Homo-oligomer: A and B are copies of this chain.
């Protein structure tokens, strides 16, 4: 009966065979969250690794002045809780389900045991971390050095490229997109209007955007 549910689809366990997946499945806990529900909070004890098996979770931090910064958008198969690997760490970020979401969790000691037993897991987790580091490095550089217009243009072309189409629906509300790009919903509205006036994009119904000239868009300063 156990179809390994979330465990099966997580890349970090990909080298493992069925009986080992059974073992893991038996130490995993399952959770379900409604859209808008809190999956975890800053200051929670960091004693578990989380695996998103279905749905979408936004991970964000709060700055001292109360402003929100969206860091990651976890999709099915993504993991979080990296610092779960140290002792005595606390979370510094919040997780919130954006749609109905299924999550599995593994206790820290259990996961550390798995890593010692199956070294391929550690190496897979290192890969995940490395990619996340690379992404964050780029995000830091671009928010610190480029204009909002350039960041938005980049976001649009990258999203289009990753979806392999030039017409797509924005996967986030403008408020969330704003906290991701380090700006405000008002500014995003204005910039999109500006891009449209320049003929670079076309805004269609329901957050749908068509990119008309990706090359020119990327020249936005």
Contact = CB atoms under 8 A, between A and B. Distances in A.
Interface of A: 61, 63-65, 67-69, 71, 82-83, 85-86, 89, 92-93, 112, 115-116, 119, 122-123, 125-127, 129-134, 136-146, 150, 182, 221
Copies of this chain = 2
Given A92-B134, A137-B61, A139-B140, A82 B129 contact: yes
Contacts of A140: 69, 71, 136, 139-140, 143
Given A69-B140, A86-B127, A129-B133, 13 more contacts: A63-B142, A63-B145, A65-B221, A82-B129, A83-B130, A85-B123, A85-B130, A86-B130, A115-B122, A122-B123, A126-B126, A126-B129, A143-B144
A112 B122 contact: no
A144 B85 contact: no
A10 to B, nearest CB: 16
A123 to B, nearest CB: 6
A contacts with B: majority SS: helix
Contact of A69 (B71, B93, B122, B145): B145
B85 A127 contact: yes
Which of A112, A126, A137 has its CB near the most chain B CB atoms (within 10 A)? A137
Contacts of A85: 123, 126-127, 130
Nearest to A117: B119
Given A126-B125, A143-B143, A133 B67 contact: no
A150 B143 CA distance: 16
B69 A144 contact: yes
